[in-house]
């Protein structure tokens, strides 16, 4: 079982910033896509951003474009989510998802990912 661990969540004021990180252990894939999803109470888990194996494709949800940045240093290392200008509606549990994909694939649905972290809470409140 691949272990996926997120970190970096916390409480932040509106307009503030947080940086999340995600590490997947026992990576046996030559190429894989990593993604961030979030889920607020009473709502379905929604797509935030994804990054393919070499970082050439980084789709974002419309709600976070221009504010969030997903990145990775190399193909098998951690992925990061820099969140700027946070809003109260960004409050949710943020999950990291990982799966082996073709180099150009960056899915935006939960069923496309096999490995998930336990989530990290992000709360934006004044």
Write out pLDDT tens, residues 32-68: 899 999 999 999 999 999 999 889 999 999 999 999 9
Token pair, residue 20, equals 């999340």
pLDDT higher than threshold 80 for residue 7? yes
- Compute the Cα dihedral for 23, 25, 30, 31 and give only its sign: negative
Confidence of residue 26 (pLDDT cuts 50, 70, 90): low
Position 100 scores a pLDDT of: 84
Q: Taking Cα atoms as reference points, which of 109, 106, 114, 96 lies closest to residue 59?
A: 106
Which residues, in sequence order, are bridge partners of residue 4? 24
In this structure, what are the phi and psi dihedrals at residue 110, rounded to the nearest 5 degrees?
Answer: -65, -35
Q: Tokens 């496309």, residue?
A: 112
- What's the CA dihedral at 118, 48, 21, 90 to 10 degrees? -80
End-to-end Cα, the chain, rounded Å: 39
């Amino acid at each position: 079982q691949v272990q996926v661990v997120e970190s970096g969540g916390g409480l932040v004021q509106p307009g503030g910033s947080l940086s999340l990180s995600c590490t997947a252990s026992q990576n046996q894939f030559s190429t894989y896509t990593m993604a961030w999803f979030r889920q607020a109470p009473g709502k379905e888990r929604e797509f935030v951003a994804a990054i393919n194996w070499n970082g050439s494709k980084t789709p974002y949800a419309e709600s976070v474009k221009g504010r969030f940045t997903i990145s990775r240093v190399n193909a098998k290392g951690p992925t990061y989510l820099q969140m700027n200008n946070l809003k109260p509606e960004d409050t949710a549990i943020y999950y990291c998802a990982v799966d082996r994909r073709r180099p150009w694939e960056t899915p935006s649905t939960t069923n496309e990912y096999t490995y998930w972290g336990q989530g990290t809470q992000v709360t934006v409140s004044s």
